[in-house]
Structure 1
Amino acid sequence: MTVAPSIGDWLAAAAARAAPASGALVAGETVAWRGLDARADRAAAGFRALGLRSGDRVCVLMRSSTATLAVWFGLARAGLVEVPLNPASGRTLLRYLLEHSGAPVVVCDAEFLDAVRECSPGTVRTVVVHGTGAGDVDLADLLATAPEPLPPVDPTAPAVVLYTSGTTGPPKGALLSHRANVNLARHTVALMGYTPADRLYSVFPLFHSNARYCSVMAAAEAGADLVLDRTFSAGRFWDTCRAHGITAFNYQGAMTSILAKQPPRPDDADNPVRVGFGAPCPPELFADFERRFGVRLTEIYGSTEVSVVTDMPPTARRIGTAGRESVNYTVAVVDERDEPVPAGTPGEIVARPKHAGWMFDGYAGDPGATAAAWRGLWFHTGDRGVLDADGFLTFLDRMKDTIRRRGENVSSWEVERVVAEHPAVGQVAAYGLPSELSEEDVAVAVVPAAGATVDPAELVEHCRAGLTAFAVPRYVRVLDELPLTPSQRVEKYKLRADGVAPGTWDREAR
């Protein structure tokens, strides 16, 4: 296996291979890969001029832009550790992240300067601002710094701290090395067969591993072009693909379900897209989605910490699964004692790499969480799944998303699949709410399909035909939209926190 270089060295080689005009269109701005390589040189020199030295951390609070790319790759080339933050973070969370990271420098868009000033701990000594703003340093000036010789960067050194969602407690910062990032990009290209003729499309933000390593770096590795938008619009998605000649897109969370619920158009399959990369597309939609839009989906299973654990290449497909273990990981399903369970038995998904440089290097500043996640020499994902006799993995739900009702475990995934089959339902999230009888009752929040109206009583009757009695929802809440992360995953903790909100339909009360 080829040893991965540092990100800075990798970008230089990728840019040199790429056609001169090949590059990225980010939120309407263009940059060639060769131009990005040159901007990274200037950015690296600019950050070093701030007194930063190898291993120092820099928080980045920016929306997707070509300037964000220059900051990312400039930090990597300088041997600094990037800490990309979610621009939607509230003040309490932002304060925690800035303090926890220990970063002496913050780079932000001008619109976030007030929040950064308010939330920064005493350890922050410099704020670099992109756009008009009264920061300590203007990013435009920093990016104009003359390049200078830089110290070599160890590919095994940390390149980034990516904070997890923190749905059950404070977010954890996953430390990822240069080689782990490059390895993920290269694996994505090999899995998807990307070439310089491709044009990739992503709607995910640049603080998320999907956009970073499976879109931006994958496109540069292949010498392909990239279109990166800041938001996902189901109504404009396919027209965007047509307008830009998109051949491949990334999806996550509810994206495929939302696209499938759009009213059919006679030109649905008249688009240049050939493949989609991501997970999970509901199995009941999979074949129809491919047929309707004329694309071929490649499902994977992974996480920020362990990238692509399983994948489903065109040569080994089983719809409804996330494929079999990739060439880089060993995967197992275990019980609460960490003992492997028989094929077909649900349990926790665990994984470990077959080669060095594929896994995260621990949680920043949290050795206890690191040890717990790595116990028994396996990374414990916190996800519930099942392996079949042929080694295909089916993701069921997060362990914490399993609903415990009157002594029975209810799979939120199963409830959501049945509810989603109702033609009036556009989106759904199943979750547990405290029961007066102890444990939990099953609740679902639904968003109606376009032009439809959801009748809670009718929806529950629909569920009786597809679910065991103990899994039939007690509560039905109809919403205009579900709370979603930028990667289109439902923030169920917000729904749980709402409890039995006003307007929630209660089966037992009727």
Structure 2
Amino acid sequence: MESMRRTVAELVADQWGDHRPGLWFEDLVLSHHEVAAGTAARAALLGDLLPPGAEPHVGVLLDNTPEYPLWIGAAALAGAAVAGINPTRRGPELARDILHTECRVLVTERAHLPLLDGLDLPWGSPRGSGAERGGIRLLVTGTEGYEDLLASYTGATPDPGRATPGHRLLLYFTSGSTGAPKAAICSQGRLAAAGLSLVRHFGVRPDDVHYVCMPMFHGNAVIADWAPALAAGAGVALRRRFSASGFLDDVRKYGATYFTYVGRAVQYVLATEPRPDDRDHALRLGFGTEAGAVDAAAFEERFGVRLVEGYGSSEGGAAIQWTPGTPAGAIGRAAPGDDLAVVDPATREECPRAVFDGDGRLLNGDEAMGELVNRGASPFEGYWKNPEADAARRRWGSPGSREAGNGGGWYWTGDLFFRDADGFLYFAGRTDDRLRVDSENLAAAMIENILARYEGADAVAVYAVPDPVAGDQVMATVAGTFAPVAFGAFLAAQPDLGTKMAPRFVRVVERMPVTATNKIHRARLRREGFRCPDPVWWRPPGEPAYRRLSAADAAGLVAEYRERGREELLGR
């Protein structure tokens, strides 16, 4: 029942009176009680700043400093919502994010003030002080004016009575690699429930320390790292920005026991120079996505830390958790009671189960691969003022029916999966990561898992480039070292590499291009294709070995696309 659900405001108030160390940042240490007191002061300030009748939204444009969790907690107590503003956005895009989420207060720091210069935003008058109706009040943390303002609210105590589980708490942007990012909604009840669920799943204890090194404007750091620490009464150690070279030093300094990761973070840590004391720490668990089986095994071998790969759509519509007995390469099974299915979007029918040969090669990818769909009620709470995006997620259900699930339709994740005979689910990439080579459907994630075994690869990305005639060709970007002869021999030795999986093109980079959340920037890689600034090796049709793609080769390829009327597909 709704009345039995907890709120984040209640979890914040639970910290009051707990004088154990609760938050670490650089050389600063705050007790849980001090965190609760600081949160209450900011909540009282926020209550005075938000104009009556306005959407109670506060934008937070900060690195991972103590102010970030304090303002999330403050919003919870005040019945308001935090819009996480991405500091890697620039100009009109940054202004658009602030305006779209209707922020009436914007909290930032001196380092990010230049990002706001020249933006067409309705600042309150004067900027940085009282906000007129319709204006945005700017608060700059660490300044004398900010500290003086907060001092007026010293002595406030946390009162969770204004919040309900249904109160909007987070507006976090997702899927911004192409088009305008969408602001997913997360309520207090959903965030508290997620935190409590992870506490139970991983046995989080009050004496644990959660290391938050992923950016807090992204759902991963808040939902999977900060929220379970808050729910368990555990401590939180913040890193301003992720640093692979500083990772282990931080873990030791703060006594961290748990961390989360996304994208290439694990690969970057593995790329640091090994040391004899790599296992000298208290860290016991990492939870995240996209590490891959090879790197997860290497991380545990080197650091003695188990990585648990989970799956959860950022919007909360579907989740899969690893359990003991999950086979290599699989994410896990659907939780009991969840109605997750792998569905063919064209027929809306469930796909057949995956069939593997003795070497683990998927034999029926054409029919087994489909989009992961939640056909039951889901916790997806929609996007802020984006009905088109809502409709794309909550699409029709079974043929001829629009009744099932949440909001009149099923929840479509936008992710490709296949499911084996025992019900284990395997991630195959985003729907736009599907490759169709010689009329066969391939999954980018499966090829990446194989190429990750190549000794010279620090990170690998696989994606489609158009074939000059029809369908796609496989292209890979490898961060690390590349020897064409050795790479060809490596491919020939992989028993689970299908005949159509070998990359036609291999782009070699020093460092993988990533988004602000350390996910590979696949849209950029696809757009640049083989016409990119980095060295590209290719294996032309009928040739046995890789050779360097020359300017003449590239020109000849473009001419072939043009001749067949497919040149416009390059750079898509």
Both proteins in one fold, TM over 0.5 = yes
The answer to whether the aligner puts 1:143 opposite 2:157 as a matched pair is no
SS in 2 for 1:342: coil
1:353 and 1:129 map into 2 onto residues whose CA distance is: 44
8 Å Cα contact 1:43/1:142 also seen in 2: no
Q: Deviations over 1:328-380 (max 9, x none)?
A: 743211111322122222211112666xxx72311111112212211223211
Answering whether residue 527 of structure 2 is matched by residue 497 of structure 1, we say: yes
The offset of 1:10, in angstroms, is 2.2
Say which structure, 1 or 2, has more relative contact order (CA 8 Å, 6+ apart): 1
Change (3 A) 1:280 1:79: same
Q: Aligned to 1:143, what secondary structure does the other structure show?
A: helix
1:438 to partner: Cα distance: 4.2
CA-CA distance at 1:382 after TM superposition: 0.5
- CA–CA distance in structure 2, aligned partners of residues 95 and 55 of structure 1: 17
Residue of 160, 163, 166 corresponding to 2:173: 163
Letter in 2 for 1:454: F
Check 1:331–1:144 CA distance in 2 against 1; reply closer, same or farther (3 A cut). Answer: farther
The answer on whether the counterparts of 1:312 and 1:318 sit within 8 Å (CA) in structure 2 is no
1:335 maps to which residue?
A: 344
Bigger mean CA deviation after superposition, 319-328 or 471-480: 319-328
Q: Is the 8 A contact 2:318 2:413 kept in 1?
A: no
Q: Amino acid of the residue matched to residue 374 of structure 2?
A: A
Q: Once structures 1 and 2 are overlaid, which stretch shifts more, 421-430 or 484-493?
A: 484-493
* Unpaired segments ≥5 residues, structure 1: none
Contact 1:109 1:129 in 2 (8 A): yes
Structure 1 residue 460 displacement after superposition: 4.0
Aligned equivalents of 2:103, 2:36: Cα separation in 1? 25
Aligned residue runs from structure 1 range 271-420, under 5 A: 271-306=281-316, 309-313=319-323, 315-326=324-335, 329-336=338-345, 337-344=347-354, 345-351=368-374, 359-375=379-395, 376=397, 377=405, 378-420=410-452
Match of 2:235 in 1: 225
Q: Look up the match of 1:195.
A: 205
Which stretch has the larger CA shift, 156-165 or 302-311?
A: 302-311
Query: Partner letter of residue 129 of structure 1?
Result: V
Match of 1:477 among 499, 504, 507: 507
Deviant stretches of 4+, over 6 Å: 148-151
**What RMSD in Å do the two structures reach over aligned CA positions?**
2.6
Q: Does 1:455 align with 2:483?
A: yes
Alpha carbons 1:159, 1:176 under 8 Å: kept: yes
What is the DSSP-based 3-state SS (H/G/I as helix, E as strand, rest coil) of the residue aligned with 2:341? strand
User: Which shifted more, 93-102 or 465-474?
Assistant: 465-474
Q: Deviations over 1:263-314 (max 9, x none)?
A: 544333333222222223322344453343222332211021117711124x
Count of aligned pairs between the two proteins: 496
Retained in 1: the 8 A contact 2:66–2:238? no
Report how far residue 44 of structure 1 moved: 1.3
Change (3 A) 1:416 1:28: farther
Tell me the TM-score normalized by structure 2: 0.80
Report the counterpart of residue 136 of structure 2 in structure 1. 125
Report the Cα distance in structure 2 between the residues aligned to 1:192 and 1:270, rounded to whole angstroms.
22
Contact 2:457 2:479 in 1 (8 A): yes
Matched, 1:423 2:455: yes
Asked if residue 442 in structure 1 is aligned to residue 485 in structure 2, the reply is no
Q: Which amino acid aligns with 2:233?
A: G
Structure 2 letter corresponding to 1:501: C
Call closer, same or farther: CA 1:64–1:433 in 2, change over 3 Å.
same
d(CA) in 2 for partners of 1:456 and 1:131? 53
Matched, 1:24 2:23: yes
Instruction: Give 1:150 deviation, angstroms.
Output: 8.4
C-alpha separation in 1, matches of 2:61 and 2:337: 32
How far apart, in 2, do the equivalents of 1:27 and 1:4 lie?
Answer: 35
5+ long unaligned stretches in structure 2: 123-133, 355-367, 398-404, 541-548, 554-572
Distance 1:150 1:12, change over 3 A: closer
Pair 386,490 (structure 1): closer, same or farther in 2 beyond 3 Å: same
Alignment of 1:97-116 (within 5 A): 97-116=97-116
User: Under a length normalisation based on structure 1, what TM-score does the superposition of the two structures give?
Assistant: 0.89
Paired residue for 2:33? 34
